[in-house]
Amino acid sequence: MNMEFFSKKILELSILLKRLKTHRTAGDKIVFTNGCFDIIHAGHVQYLTAAKAEGEVLVVGLNSDDSVRIIKGEKRPIVQEAQRAAVLAGLECVNYVTLFEDPDPFRLIQTILPDVLVKGADWGDGEIIGADIVKQHGGRVVRVPFVSDTSTSKIIETILRNFR
């Protein structure tokens, strides 16, 4: 595995902020989304591609293994954070990946202050964490349509059903 490629896209927050400052100076629109991305599937790829279409730079906040366990339960994640980050970094539409420990991305969004915050349409208007901050700073929130019949939970259910 070529770790040099991944190291250019998987960044600690302090380094990411320096890169984003350069992008902003160049006039690039910063798009942010987040998630666990435990088992990457076609719905994730479609979602991330749609997110990237909202600007020039797509930053993905990736829940750490500990925060995934808080959100999804002790048996998750299936795929460890370093591998999840590498898969995301391997996608052409993703410019940067940064891990975060909190169960929600509020502090990360507050720190990055993206121009566009993207979430799935399965999130209601009042449920999108950080939307108020983004809007207060002149940004916008975009809800991407949900891809039916694609979810990590359904993939896990299928595997368990077929291999019992």
pLDDT of residue 146: 72
Between strands 30-35 and 57-63, the pairing is parallel
Q: Which neighbouring-strand residues pair with 62? A: 35, 99
Pick the CATH number of 3-162 from 3.20.20.210, 3.40.50.620, 3.30.70.20, 2.40.30.10: 3.40.50.620
Pair of tokens at residue 21: 């400052």
CB atoms within 10 A of CB 162: 7
How many helices and strands in the chain, by DSSP H and E?
8, 5
Digit-by-digit pLDDT tens for the chain (164 residues) are 455 556 799 999 999 999 999 999 999 999 999 999 998 888 899 999 999 999 999 999 999 999 999 999 999 999 999 999 999 999 999 999 999 999 999 999 999 999 999 998 888 878 999 999 999 999 999 999 876 666 767 777 777 788 87
Sequence-ordered alpha helix ranges (H) in the chain? 3-7, 13-25, 42-52, 65-72, 81-89, 106-112, 131-136, 152-162
- Domain locations in the chain? 3-162
Pair of tokens at residue 33: 């989304």
